[in-house]
Structure 1
Amino acid sequence: MFVSYKWLQEYVDLSGISAAELADKITKSGIEVEGVEKKSEGLKGVVIGHVLEREQHPNADKLNKCLVDIGAEEPVQIICGAPNVDKGQKVAVATVGAVLPGNFKIKKAKLRGEESHGMICSLQELGIESKIVAKEYAVGIFNFPQDAQVGEDALEALGLDDEILELSLTPNRSDALSMLGVAYEVAAILRRDVKWPTIEKEEASEKASDYISVKVEATEDNPLYMAKVVKDVKIGPSPLWMQTRLMAAGIRPHNNVVDITNFVLLEYGQPLHAFDYDRLGSKELVIRRAKDAEKITTLDEAERTLTPDHLVITNGTEPVAIAGVMGGANSEVKSDTTTVIIEAAYFKGSTVRKASKDHGLRSEASARFEKGVDPARVREAGERAAQLMAEYAGGTILEGSVEYNDMKVEPAVISITLNKINGLLGTSMSVSEVQDIFTRLQFDVAVEGENFTVTIPTRRGDITIEADLVEEAARLYGYDNIPSTLPTGTTTPGALSDYQQKRRKARRTLEGAGLFQAITYSLTSAEKAAQFALEARESIRLAMPMSEERSQLRLSIVPQLLEVVKYNNARQIDSVALYEIGSVFLKQDGEQLPEEREHVAAAITGLWESHLWQGEKKPVDFFVAKGILEALFDTLGVASQIEYRQAEVKNLHPGRTAEVLLNGVVIGFIGQVHPTVQKELDIKETYVFELSFKALAEAEVAPIAYETIPRFPSITRDIALVVDSATKAGDIQSIIVEAGGALLKEVQVFDLYEGDKMEEGKKSIAYSLKYFDPERTLTDEDITKAHDKVLAAVKDQAGAELRG
């Protein structure tokens, strides 16, 4: 909502308070003011000029040579390229030395050999947006009314010396979608009175009911409808002050009749519509639901197909307006209009919202009906519009109005105690202070002891319960004045649980390894629900799914991560590394709700490292994914409890997949996505893992033990063992660790050979063994004794021989 500071002064005395100070007070009272804009900020030197003569530029077909009176001693010559400039016009002139938007300074110039002492301006050149400039001035200069005084400040005449407050309103504060609504708010803040517009009008002896009748069939959608008739109107431009106020609020001026309906909309917050009586085609207005596939051509010249969900105003036969949204072209007020019907009505918000959404028509009127208008202002807004049409369009108001009224809206009455207000706010307000707040808001309040009975005016439809009154008391008392207090009694400081700490550590580790966190849908299709599941269970289907693609609760996170990889690959993002710690949902026999279990999963594809300068590229492989997992296990303190075992998992590569075991129990898998699945998804070589994070986080972890830096040297021995091709390197490593005893600290595989020089059915695996004693330097005898035990164990238990 854009609020003109100068316009607001007509309803509330703002003396002694600037626009910026007012904005601060409004914000502190609960309605945020996003900014205060002075339209003429930085502009100067623009006056109203009178074009005395205009002739064609002697050396340019598209330029005019004008002699302009700007209120100085002598008229000045100005060269102007506007096609609509002409003799006798009152125009905006930027004099020599003037400054226009963009810090554009006007200087004396010579154009095609002719001197120019200034510039005749369009509204756009003065900083007014094209979309809110009247169509006749969309191209070319603006013409002031002939009564404009030459030499006066043009910026002031155009309302550009005003300051505009931009209010950011929440949906419940529809009362502030009008100047009067804002006036009530400001008056309450400043402890001042609201001055309402005075409606004084003369009515003709002819009655409105002789011209039109009103029939409402959709009474629930339209409980109140009033029609006023104004004859003998003369269509023309509205007064300049009205045009400038509309433009300041972001509304384009059209003509005096349409501008008056928009002006009253801004003033009262009540949308109005004007019909051309002679184009209506009948003497009745019938308000009903539209017929299926009924057509109407709206004011924007678009033909629209209606449904029974839409409320329409008809002439008894065909629609002439979509209620609360937009009028029809068949009853539009045009330049030859002489008799006008003013519509002032209360339409149900949800009905207007449905029509507005279906037709993509969002207007100032529909926005107000959707949020709720004050039923008490409907008639008064119609009367105000009729008064202004008589005053500024020369109309004659017919006696009375024609209306349908089945409105049953009563003001809300709420009772509350002083103790409750102070108890909720932590204040110590007195009865008189609270009563004063409600009185300033212009609520009727009755006081009995410390009990308040408050009658809420219908303009404040957002106040319905005690808590709403407490909020009103708080914001008018001043949020800054509410005392700050500390809680009393014994308190327990907040902290993360052990599980939450481990989850946070896991995220930091995975992100530190270069993975990005993903948050994917928990809903998937029946086909994908069971893919990559750690535990084979029936998936759970939603009772009311939004689509078949989102109809099942997932059993695994990996399918969703692969969709993310596919999405990125399709957009030429080839290197993707993602992880997610999220829930999967497992069906429980005899239980309505599923078991929700947290998993950690990742999907990695593309290049893991790329150093183009050195010509190095390292694509993702199984050991990159495994290294990330080992970093995670190390962070969680379970690395010593983890084993890997070759496995076959559906949809994963049979030779590049392993089960992950925690203390001998399978908790997940790691491996390459099967080539056929990669082809189906149109992705490149991708590695994934998924583990039960619940199992990892709940595993018992030994306390951290610190060791001193070694004082004695370690000794490394390398051995190459020839074993059967089917023998697993991990099994041999386990034998070596067990046989090595206390002196053996590390065992690592560093080579595998299966070449021509190896016997068929055999392979060579090389291990590096590190021996170390923290208490002394090891001798050759110590190493030989331990090493011989290792060689004997691998020979006896795995049939391994030292490679010659």
Structure 2
Amino acid sequence: EGEKITTLDNQKFDLTPQILIIADTQKPLAIAGIKGGKGPEIDSGTKIVVLEAANFNPAIIRKGSRGLGLRTDASLRFEHGVDPNLTESAINRAAYLIQKLALGKTANDSVDLYPQKVYPQKIKLDLNYAKNLLGIEIPEREIKNILTRLNFKVIGVRNPLSVEIPTSRLDILIPEDLIEEIGRIYGYDKVIPVFPTASLVPPKRNDDILWENTIKNIMKEAGFTESYNYSFQKDPSASSSQGPAEVENPTSQEYRYLRPSLMPNLLKNIEKNIKTFGQIKIFEIGKIFTDKTEKRMFTGVAAGHDFYQVKGVIDLLFDKLGVAKVWYDDYQATPEDSSKSLWKEKKSAEIKVGDVEVGFLGELKNEQKLVAFDLDFEKLKTLALEDQEYKSISKYPATIRDLAVLVPPTTKVEEVLNVMDIAGGSLVVDIDLFDIYEGEGIPDGQKNLAFHIIYQAQDRTLTSIEVYKIHQNIIKALEENPTWQVRK
């Protein structure tokens, strides 16, 4: 630290402990691997010369050269690496030239300090791999000849060949380096260009993205706006009975828990925008979380719209997705976990496809009149992917009759539909629940279910007498239950 040196070209440099030097017991003599010092310079009066040859670590030389801002031929050579086994040959060559050209005499033998001798390494060369990599088959004899001419020693006669790399070839480290040398000498011009052969295979269809985009387009056509919300929330109270999924390192207390439902954030969106817009229809497709599971949901909220308007959108969605056998069962506190507190019991319905419950639709317990739906995206996707059985449309007209029945509040729509379906037989092609009502005009302890019944045959036009008889069979079957009453 603090030492100085003047180089052969009279430049002065301040030295640091990071710069490697050659020195005697008193002062630095040269900057190792970069430039010699002025002190030991040879001039016309020099009688005795001490020859020193060394090999240095490339990283140390580069660091010293950059630190001093000094680039020389020597530093460039050492930075790129020099064969350490050339050191002895170099000093012997210098001594020979001094003796021959300057009539010098050697005083004594050399002193050699070589703590870690570097030996030639061996590389396995697979001839088949060389053929595949170069794209051309070179005879084995030619490969051996090329390697020998490049001063590589080929050991063995069987594939793979063992090739000994001279220590002077610091650039040969892996089989690919050897193959490159073979190709370079053999001639790349001898490689015949061939178009690569590859089969064009379309990427596997991502059903999640396909159906998500399909649903988004349908909802946008229906006037809904897509919403994007964070997957985090502050309050864990809406979490399911399985427990809230808590974030280990939340960015803030506002984002401490993973959302167990899409509904709370959508309600916040409504609250922020309802004063500006009289009517709002928004939806979101995203993941919800518990402490053990996660799944994708499709949820929407509408402000300023009634139940049947939103139901019409859901019907449109199922129709465009090609999902049949969709029906609505009256809600009886069956939604899971936190969802129980969201829905008005007498103004909500379960959405079912066959026997599969896919979600809920109804008014929310909120100060504002909000209608919402909450659908399981995975179930919806599975239903949309199912092969649909084709059934030709009848060319004969259909007849529609309405029927209303009073039932106890605990009676599920499914029970009534089953009775009507069995009694109607094959000529009843569809039964659609269009109203569930309790209140004024309905006896206490009962609710009114209203249905559209569609009659149609594939081979003829049904007469009014035929329709009347089937309709009466349905009424008779319903009234066999003493707690049910068909309204007439």
Question: What is the TM-score of this pair, normalised by structure 2?
Answer: 0.54
> Is contact 1:426-1:483 (8 Å) kept?
no
**SS, match of residue 774 in structure 1:** coil
Offset of 1:436 from its aligned partner? Answer: 12
Residue number in structure 1 paired with 2:404: 720
CA 1:698/1:546 → structure 2, altered by over 3 Å: closer, same or farther? same
Residue number in structure 2 paired with 1:734: 418
CA 1:426/1:663 → structure 2, altered by over 3 Å: closer, same or farther? farther
CA 1:343/1:770 → structure 2, altered by over 3 Å: closer, same or farther? same
Partners of 1:659 and 1:619 lie apart in 2 by 13
User: What amino acid sits opposite 1:741 in the alignment?
Assistant: G
Partners of 2:182 and 2:238 lie apart in 1 by 56
Partners of 1:631 and 1:557 lie apart in 2 by 30
Within 5 A, what are the aligned runs for 1:98-109?
none
> Is contact 2:281-2:302 (8 Å) kept?
yes
Aligned pair partner of 1:706 in 359, 367, 391: 391
Residue number in structure 2 paired with 1:214: 17
Aligned pair partner of 1:771 in 452, 455, 458: 455
> Is contact 1:604-1:687 (8 Å) kept?
yes
Aligned pair partner of 1:376 in 64, 79, 85: 79
CA 1:540/1:717 → structure 2, altered by over 3 Å: closer, same or farther? closer
Partners of 1:569 and 1:429 lie apart in 2 by 77
CA 1:480/1:769 → structure 2, altered by over 3 Å: closer, same or farther? farther
CA 1:483/1:762 → structure 2, altered by over 3 Å: closer, same or farther? closer
Structure 1 residue 797 corresponds to structure 2 residue 481: yes
> Is contact 1:642-1:661 (8 Å) kept?
yes
CA 1:585/1:751 → structure 2, altered by over 3 Å: closer, same or farther? closer
Residue number in structure 1 paired with 2:343: 654
Partners of 2:450 and 2:329 lie apart in 1 by 19
Residue number in structure 2 paired with 1:342: 69
Partners of 1:654 and 1:787 lie apart in 2 by 35
Residue number in structure 2 paired with 1:513: 218
CA 1:784/1:539 → structure 2, altered by over 3 Å: closer, same or farther? same
**SS, match of residue 750 in structure 1:** strand
Write out per-residue CA displacement over residues 23-64 of structure 1, whole angstroms, 9 at most, x where no aligned residue: xxxxxxxxxxxxxxxxxxxxxxxxxxxxxxxxxxxxxxxxxx
User: What amino acid sits opposite 1:705 in the alignment?
Assistant: Y
Residue number in structure 2 paired with 1:690: 376
Query: How many residues align structurally?
Result: 390
Structure 1 residue 484 corresponds to structure 2 residue 192: no
CA 1:548/1:420 → structure 2, altered by over 3 Å: closer, same or farther? same
Larger Rg over CA atoms? 2
Within 5 A, what are the aligned runs for 1:143-292?
204=8, 212=15, 214-215=17-18
> Is contact 2:123-2:174 (8 Å) kept?
yes
Partners of 1:517 and 1:407 lie apart in 2 by 70
Within 5 A, what are the aligned runs for 1:323-402?
341-342=68-69, 376-377=79-80
Residue number in structure 2 paired with 1:266: none
Residue number in structure 1 paired with 2:311: 623
Partners of 1:343 and 1:407 lie apart in 2 by 29
Partners of 2:481 and 2:178 lie apart in 1 by 83
Partners of 1:760 and 1:423 lie apart in 2 by 87
Structure 1 residue 579 corresponds to structure 2 residue 285: yes
CA 1:654/1:570 → structure 2, altered by over 3 Å: closer, same or farther? closer
User: What amino acid sits opposite 1:419 in the alignment?
Assistant: N
Residue number in structure 2 paired with 1:531: 239
CA 1:794/1:509 → structure 2, altered by over 3 Å: closer, same or farther? farther
Write out per-residue CA displacement over residues 76-125 of structure 1, whole angstroms, 9 at most, x where no aligned residue: xxxxxxxxxxxxxxxxxxxxxxxxxxxxxxxxxxxxxxxxxxxxxxxxxx
Offset of 1:407 from its aligned partner? Answer: 12
Write out per-residue CA displacement over residues 619-643 of structure 1, whole angstroms, 9 at most, x where no aligned residue: 99762674376348744xxx44877
Partners of 2:249 and 2:206 lie apart in 1 by 37
**SS, match of residue 431 in structure 2:** strand
CA 1:725/1:698 → structure 2, altered by over 3 Å: closer, same or farther? closer
Partners of 2:183 and 2:233 lie apart in 1 by 50
Partners of 1:212 and 1:583 lie apart in 2 by 64
Q: CA RMSD in A?
A: 6.5
Offset of 1:788 from its aligned partner? Answer: 0.5
CA 1:629/1:227 → structure 2, altered by over 3 Å: closer, same or farther? same
Residue number in structure 1 paired with 2:54: none
Partners of 1:537 and 1:467 lie apart in 2 by 57
> Is contact 1:739-1:789 (8 Å) kept?
yes
Write out per-residue CA displacement over residues 379-408 of structure 1, whole angstroms, 9 at most, x where no aligned residue: 9xxxxxxxxxxxxxxxxxxxxxxxxxx999
CA 1:733/1:632 → structure 2, altered by over 3 Å: closer, same or farther? same
Partners of 2:312 and 2:259 lie apart in 1 by 20
Aligned pair partner of 2:132 in 423, 428, 431: 423
> Is contact 1:427-1:483 (8 Å) kept?
no
Unaligned runs of 5+ in 2: 1-5, 21-30, 39-61, 83-114
**SS, match of residue 481 in structure 2:** helix
> Is contact 1:718-1:767 (8 Å) kept?
yes
Structure 1 residue 604 corresponds to structure 2 residue 297: no
CA 1:606/1:746 → structure 2, altered by over 3 Å: closer, same or farther? closer
> Is contact 1:720-1:766 (8 Å) kept?
yes
**SS, match of residue 402 in structure 2:** strand
Write out per-residue CA displacement over residues 284-331 of structure 1, whole angstroms, 9 at most, x where no aligned residue: xxxxxxxxxxxxxxxxxxxxxxxxxxxxxxxxxxxxxxxxxxxxxxxx
Offset of 1:445 from its aligned partner? Answer: 5.4
Write out per-residue CA displacement over residues 454-478 of structure 1, whole angstroms, 9 at most, x where no aligned residue: 6799997xx8544676689899959
Offset of 1:736 from its aligned partner? Answer: 1.9
Residue number in structure 2 paired with 1:48: none
CA 1:446/1:622 → structure 2, altered by over 3 Å: closer, same or farther? farther
Unaligned runs of 5+ in 1: 1-201, 218-223, 232-269, 276-340, 346-372, 380-405, 488-492, 588-595, 608-615
Partners of 1:704 and 1:407 lie apart in 2 by 80
CA 1:720/1:617 → structure 2, altered by over 3 Å: closer, same or farther? closer
Partners of 2:235 and 2:125 lie apart in 1 by 58
User: What amino acid sits opposite 2:389 in the alignment?
Assistant: I
CA 1:706/1:407 → structure 2, altered by over 3 Å: closer, same or farther? farther
Offset of 1:409 from its aligned partner? Answer: 10
Write out per-residue CA displacement over residues 185-240 of structure 1, whole angstroms, 9 at most, x where no aligned residue: xxxxxxxxxxxxxxxxx95487968x5353579xxxxxx99787999xxxxxxxxx
Partners of 1:583 and 1:645 lie apart in 2 by 25
Offset of 1:648 from its aligned partner? Answer: 3.7
User: What amino acid sits opposite 1:630 in the alignment?
Assistant: F
Offset of 1:747 from its aligned partner? Answer: 1.4
Partners of 2:409 and 2:468 lie apart in 1 by 28
**SS, match of residue 716 in structure 1:** strand
> Is contact 2:420-2:477 (8 Å) kept?
yes
**SS, match of residue 513 in structure 1:** helix
Partners of 1:518 and 1:560 lie apart in 2 by 10
Partners of 1:740 and 1:712 lie apart in 2 by 18
The alignment-based identity, stated in percent, is 16
Offset of 1:771 from its aligned partner? Answer: 1.0
Which structure has the highest strand share of the two? 1
Residue number in structure 2 paired with 1:52: none
CA 1:548/1:482 → structure 2, altered by over 3 Å: closer, same or farther? farther
> Is contact 1:600-1:693 (8 Å) kept?
no
